[in-house]
């Protein structure tokens, strides 16, 4: 059980740190909508949204943040139960990824409006980038911060002859590491551990649990 708990905590911390470092670097070094082509299939494209994954934006920021916070609490409670039951390490990893990703975007919504100036598109005279300011002097209020996205993978474009999709980029969404963690964790659970979500709780003794861990 201890191995699962330590692994989960370290993974959540690693994802949070990597996600926030990437977002802060982009926000403080790039103007809004600035685009850097690293390879033909991997670009850094700075955009912001109100908090939905992969740039979607159709729910108010405050409502979405509160919903996400509630989801993190529920998933966190469930994660602790799974660790105590010594469920497979892979399942613990997947849950940890989902929780870490949600927490990463919550940080943006809660704090970025309070500690950053607003990012602006570049113009012919200067390229405005956000700056870190004293707490509470940023561009917004608590729960009003915008989520930073930057990862863009234009793998290919659909042929012009194809109806509807012709000429469009396959998976043209811009996202961040937190979105990736949520997606990878959720998809892996569906593919490999979906049976654990529906099976009844096993009745085991403390000795059996200790042995299985």
Which pLDDT tens digit goes with each residue over 146-170?
999 999 998 878 777 777 677 777 7
Active site residues: 149, 179
Answer yes or no: is 155 within a domain: no
pLDDT tens, residue by residue, 96-133: 999 999 999 999 999 999 999 999 998 877 778 999 99
164, part of any domain: no
With respect to residue 134, please indicate whether it lies within any of the assigned structural domains: yes
42 assigned to some structural domain: no
In a domain? residue 30? yes
For the entire predicted model, the pTM comes to: 0.85
Looking at beta carbons, which pairs linking 195-203 to residues 24 or more positions away fall under 8 Å?
A: 196/87, 196/88, 196/91, 201/85, 202/85
Q: Residue 47: inside a domain, yes or no?
A: no
In terms of residue numbers, what domain contains 85?
Answer: 2-35+57-145+176-212
Note whether residue 106 is domain-resident. Answer: yes
| Predicted confidence (pLDDT) per residue in 170-191, tens digit | 778 899 999 999 999 999 999 9
Mean pLDDT score across all residues of the chain: 86
Q: What is the dihedral of CA 64, 117, 174, 111, to 10 degrees?
A: -40
Specify if 82 maps to a domain: yes
CA distance linking residue 180 with residue 46, whole number of Å = 16
pLDDT band at 55 (very low <50, low <70, confident <90, very high): very low
Q: Based on the structure, what is the number of domains in the chain? A: 1
In percent, the amount of the chain with pLDDT more than 90 equals 64
């Amino acid at each position: 059980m201890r191995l699962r708990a330590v692994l989960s905590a370290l993974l959540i911390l690693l994802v949070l740190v990597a996600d926030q470092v990437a977002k802060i670097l982009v926000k403080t070094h790039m103007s809004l909508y600035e685009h850097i082509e690293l390879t033909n299939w991997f670009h850094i494209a700075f955009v912001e949204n109100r908090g939905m994954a992969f740039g979607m934006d159709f729910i108010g920021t405050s409502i979405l943040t509160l919903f996400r916070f509630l989801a993190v609490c529920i998933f966190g409670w469930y994660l602790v139960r799974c660790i105590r039951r010594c469920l497979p390490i892979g399942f613990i990893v997947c849950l940890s990824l989902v929780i870490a990703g949600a927490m990463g975007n919550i940080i943006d919504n809660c704090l970025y409006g309070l500690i950053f100036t607003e990012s602006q598109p570049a113009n012919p005279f200067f390229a405005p980038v956000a700056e870190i300011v004293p707490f509470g002097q940023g561009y917004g209020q608590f729960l009003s911060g915008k989520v930073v996205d930057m990862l863009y993978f234009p793998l290919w474009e659909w042929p012009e002859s194809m109806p509807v999709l012709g000429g469009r980029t396959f998976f043209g969404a811009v996202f961040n590491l937190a979105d990736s963690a949520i997606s990878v964790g959720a998809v892996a659970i569906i593919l490999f551990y979906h049976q654990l979500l529906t099976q009844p709780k096993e009745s085991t003794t403390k000795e059996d649990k200790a042995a299985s861990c």
